[in-house]
Amino acid sequence: MTDQYNSLYQSFEWLVPSHFNIADACCHRWASSPHEARQVAIYFEDQVGQLTMLTYGQLSEQVNKLANGFIRMGIQPQDRIAIALQHSAESAVTQLAALTVGAIAVPLTATLTAAEYAERIHDSQARVAIVDKHSIAPMMSAIDNHSPVKQIIGIHTEDERIISWRTLLARQPGTFTPVIVASNSPALLIYPHPSENKPLRGTLLHHSTLIGTLPGFVASQNWFPKGKDILWTSFDWSTPNGLLNALLPTLYFGRSIVGCPSGRTIPRLFTLLEHYQITNMLVSSYELERIRNHPDPLLEFQIAIRCITCPDTEITQTLRDWVSERFNVNINSIFAPLGFGYIIGESHEKWPSRHGSIGKPYPGHTIAIINEDGEEVETGQQGEIAIHTTDQYDYPDPSVSLSYWSGAQIHETPKTDEWISTGVTGYADNDGYIWRTPIEPVNATDAANESLS
C-alpha cells in the first residue's frame, strides 16, 4: 500500500453552500429523481423480524406528511421537537421531518427516566414530543401542566391525550417543499448520556455539520460508497454515533442502511449480514467482542463485509487480530467526540496505521495538542486534543460546533485563540499520529451502556 495521506490532506478543500438542509440532501433530492426514488433507503427489522422497507420515494413521502403535520401544529423554524423513540424506521422519518420544516430535532433515547425527560424537555423548551410504547409512561409523567410541550404524537400507543402517528400521516398530503435554511442554522440538539453532578448542556449541531462529517466517514469506511455498498450500525439512530456518523452520511450518498433493535443474538445478526449482503459496519468494540466470544464461529454464513469501523479508541490488539482473521478486514478506529464528528482516525486503504495511536487528522481538520493556556505544545508533550475553527486554508471547518444549548438558550462555545478543546488528553508524534492518554478500563456493563449512548 502506498501512503496517500499527505496528498489527500493537502488537496482537500471544503465546499459548503450558503444554504443547506440536511433532510433535503439526505432524502428529498433522491426522491425527486425517478430512478433514485426506487432505491431502498432503509431496511429495518423489528424484534420479531418484521421488515419495514422504505425507498427514497416512500421515505420522502412519509417525511413530507409528518412535516405537514408539524406545520399544522404551528411549528416554526428553530422550534424544538423532542423525539423519544426506540430504534426504528419511524425515528429516522421523524428526525428528517423536523429538519425538513427547519425545526431543531432533539433525539432522546427511549430508556430515560421521567426526571431525565423532564429536565431535557424544560431545557430545550420543546413544543412537540413524539413517543412510542417504550417511552410513553416516563414521558407522560415528564410532561406536566407547566411543560412547554403543547402536542404529543404517539406511535403504537393508545392514549386519548396523544395524537396517533398513523392517523396524523393519513390526513396529510405527501408533498412538501423543504424550508430553506442557512447551512449554519441549528439542526440537532443532542444531550449527553445522563451523568450525575454535571449541569445539563446540549450540543448544538448545524446543518453544515453533516458536510463536516463526510471526509472522515468516507475515509474510515474505505472510500464509501463503492459498488453495492450497504451499511449497518450497532448504534441506535437516535444516538450521535447512529445518527450523525451512520444514518445521515449513508442517506447523503443515496445508499441503503440496515437497522434492527439492540440485544439481537449473534446468529440473528449474521443472518442479517448475509441476507442484506452488508458491506460496511459502524460497530462498537463491545459488539465485536460479543461476536468473538460466541461459541460458534458461524462460518456457514456467506457475508460480504469489506470494512469495519469502530468509534472506540481503546481497541485491543487481540480484537484487531481476530477481526482480521475472521472477516479478512482491518478495523478502522475513529475519534469522533460528541460535537465534532469524525476528526481523527484510520483508513487502511489510503495510509498506514500505527498500533496504539488513534490515527491521523482526517482531511479538512486542523488538529493540535494544546496546554491550559490554549497554546500548542511541542511534539511528544501531553495536552488536550483540540481542533481549530478553520482548516489549513483558513476556511471555516463545518464540523466544529461554535455554540451549545443550556438553560433554554444558545451559548457560545468556549475557545482559546480559535482552538476548541475536545476535553480529551493526548499527544502527537513526529509523523502526525495522535495518541490518546490511556484511560481506566471499564467493565462489560459500562461498555454495554456506553455503546448505546
Q: What average pLDDT does the segment 37-55 reach?
A: 94
Please indicate, yes or no, whether residues 284 and 418 belong to a single structural domain of this protein.
yes
pLDDT, residue 452, reads 39
Domain annotation covers residue 186: no
Q: What is the CATH number of the domain that holds 84?
A: 3.40.50.980
Within 8 A by CB and 6+ apart from 194, the residues are: 112, 116
Domain annotation covers residue 347: yes
Q: Assign 412 to helix, strand or coil.
A: strand
Please indicate, yes or no, whether residues 280 and 170 belong to a single structural domain of this protein.
no
Domain annotation covers residue 327: yes
pLDDT tens-digit readout, 264-285: 899 999 999 999 999 999 999 9
Please indicate, yes or no, whether residues 213 and 177 belong to a single structural domain of this protein.
no
pLDDT tens-digit readout, 326-374: 999 999 999 998 888 899 999 999 999 998 899 999 999 999 999 998 8
pLDDT tens-digit readout, 122-162: 999 999 999 999 999 999 999 977 789 999 999 999 888 89
Domain annotation covers residue 384: yes
Please indicate, yes or no, whether residues 177 and 134 belong to a single structural domain of this protein.
yes
Q: What average pLDDT does the segment 74-86 reach?
A: 97
Please indicate, yes or no, whether residues 221 and 325 belong to a single structural domain of this protein.
yes
Respond yes or no on whether the N-terminal peptide bond of residue 352 is cis (omega within 30° of 0).
no
Please indicate, yes or no, whether residues 134 and 267 belong to a single structural domain of this protein.
no
pLDDT at 13 over 80: yes
Domain annotation covers residue 226: yes
Please indicate, yes or no, whether residues 253 and 376 belong to a single structural domain of this protein.
yes
Please indicate, yes or no, whether residues 101 and 230 belong to a single structural domain of this protein.
no
Please indicate, yes or no, whether residues 309 and 431 belong to a single structural domain of this protein.
yes
Q: Does residue 324 or residue 403 have the better pLDDT?
A: 324
Helices (DSSP H) in 284-389: which residue ranges?
A: 285-292, 317-327
Last residue of a domain, one of 161, 181, 201: 181
Please indicate, yes or no, whether residues 73 and 117 belong to a single structural domain of this protein.
yes
Helix (H) or strand (E) holding 428: strand 419-428
Domain annotation covers residue 196: no
pLDDT tens-digit readout, 161-172: 899 999 999 999
pLDDT at 44 over 90: yes
Provide the domain limits for residue 102.
Answer: 55-181
> Pick from 214, 218, 243, 215: which is nearest to 229 by CA?
218
Domain annotation covers residue 256: yes
Q: Assign 411 to helix, strand or coil.
A: strand
Please indicate, yes or no, whether residues 266 and 339 belong to a single structural domain of this protein.
yes
How many structural domains comprise the chain? 2
Q: What average pLDDT does the segment 404-426 reach?
A: 87
Please indicate, yes or no, whether residues 89 and 221 belong to a single structural domain of this protein.
no
